[in-house]
Structure 1
Amino acid sequence: MAAKHVNPTRMELTRLKKKLTTAVRGHKLLKDKRDELMRQFLELVRENKALREKVEAGIAAANQNFVLARSGMTDEALNVALMAPKQEVYLESETRNVMSVEIPVFHYKTRTSDANDIYSYGFAFTSSDLDDAVKSLADLLPDMLRLAEIEKSCQLMAAEIEKTRRRVNALEHVMIPETRENIRYITMKLDENERSSQVRLMKVKDMMLEEAHHYSAREVVPVVEEV
């Protein structure tokens, strides 16, 4: 039985067959998209894990150096040293299309190209631990930006994978079986109508033959002459 009421006509049958062809093709394309998204997603997850461990280790080392620098300097000297930064960083953001997912891409540039401009203080009254802490944070900046980029990309790709998975399941378990069932129902109904029409035609033909035979038999009845 059809899942819902459909008109058992040849036009509807043709439309459903075209719909089934499109649905099967779309199902294959969506499955391929889902598989490719999963592959790229897993690659990003592995890269994200390695980068996160690296960034967390770098931040821990920088914090340790800051603690050592603070233990060897007064709070006033440390605050004065970091009060006025000398270098500036400009962040630029753009997007990249990956399987219809707009993932972010971050780029940064500094105000000056001199690597020593990260130090906003003189070296006479500061600790070398402070230099190490500032240098480690400056070296971590590209990895931190890449980590932010990957984590946002993973979130967007995970949402797209879930949406694609729901579409694949809807096509595979609902739309395609329902369309095939409707096609089978219309085909059976058309065959039944065709058999009924043939039976009616045969019955009409038999009735016409009987009527014609009756008339002809009546016409050929011999007439007996009186002697």
Structure 2
Amino acid sequence: MASTHVNPTRMELTKLKRKLATAMRGHKLLKDKRDELMRQFLILVKENMQLREEVEEGILNANQNFALARAMMQEEFLDVAMMVPKQEVYLEAETKNVMSVEIPVFKYHTKSSDLSDIFPYGYAFTSGDLDDAVQSLSTVLPKMLRLAECEKGCQLMAAEIEKTRRRVNALEHVLIPEMREKIKYIVMKLDENERSTQIRLMKVKELVLRDALEERRRKD
């Protein structure tokens, strides 16, 4: 047993009690962190599912409109229309701290604020379905970026939840019980030592009294 390797002294007992109090405070803090991480994780998962449905629907609409445009337009006109993009998008990646987890945050801005610049072609030889496809992709872009944030955030938070859960379990089922067992062992040993000391003192007192009585008898 691990407790038998402990030096059963009052100093060691005081040290272990201090460590136990710290471990119990840490256990409570880690449990609170785990619970809050789980709450944030579930919120993020719910948003992730909703965003994925919206993004998949937006991409499906864009693909359908591109297919209709390809069917309505000559292939060389479609290739020329999409050859030179008019608008440019710049992406910035940052992070935010959520319960000690660094969640990515993506921000973007466009070269031009004119909304019509998403169409890199004239309207004379293009189909309205092509306009709808480009518009669908432009609309779904912010949701795609947010979806990427959510999915990466879910992965990072799941890993942190698992790590925190292991720490909580280690404290709850290993470290804290071991320290309590050691404290119990030291208290038991100290009580035994105290009882032994008392018994020795009583025997010494008994011997002293006996010697005193014998000495008095000899004098009498």
Q: Same fold (TM over 0.5)?
A: yes
Quote the Cα distance in structure 2 between the aligned partners of 1:74 and 1:208.
122
Quote the Cα distance in structure 2 between the aligned partners of 1:34 and 1:3.
30
Partner of 2:96: 96
Structure 1 residues 12-91: aligned runs within 5 Å: 12-91=12-91
Structure 1 residues 142-221: aligned runs within 5 Å: 142-220=142-220
What residue ranges of structure 1 are gaps of 5+ in the alignment? 221-227
Aligned partner of 1:176: which letter? I
State, as a whole percentage, how many aligned pairs show the same letter.
72
What is the aligned residue count?
Answer: 220
Quote the Cα distance in structure 1 between the aligned partners of 2:219 and 2:3.
59
Quote the Cα distance in structure 2 between the aligned partners of 1:2 and 1:189.
15
User: Structure 1 residues 137, 4: closer, same or farther in 2, change over 3 A?
Assistant: farther
Quote the Cα distance in structure 1 between the aligned partners of 2:47 and 2:20.
41
Judging by fraction of residues, say which structure has more helix: 2
Question: SS at the partner of 1:109?
Answer: strand
Quote the Cα distance in structure 2 between the aligned partners of 1:3 and 1:118.
72
Q: Do the aligned residues in 1 keep the contact of 2:4 with 2:185 (CA within 8 Å)?
A: no
Question: SS at the partner of 2:5?
Answer: coil
Question: SS at the partner of 1:169?
Answer: helix
Partner of 1:223: none
User: What does the per-residue CA deviation read over 1:112-149, in whole Å, with 9 as the maximum and x for residues that have no partner?
Assistant: 10001111111111111111100100010110000000
Quote the Cα distance in structure 2 between the aligned partners of 1:110 and 1:49.
27
Deviation at 1:219, TM superposition (A): 1.1
Aligned partner of 1:87: which letter? Q
Quote the Cα distance in structure 1 between the aligned partners of 2:152 and 2:133.
27
User: What does the per-residue CA deviation read over 1:4-57, in whole Å, with 9 as the maximum and x for residues that have no partner?
Assistant: 510000010001001111111111111111111101110111111111001001
What residue ranges of structure 2 are gaps of 5+ in the alignment? none
Q: What's the C-alpha RMSD, in Å, of the aligned pairs?
A: 1.0
User: What does the per-residue CA deviation read over 1:65-104, in whole Å, with 9 as the maximum and x for residues that have no partner?
Assistant: 0000111112211111111101000011111111111101
Aligned partner of 1:105: which letter? V
Aligned partner of 1:21: which letter? A
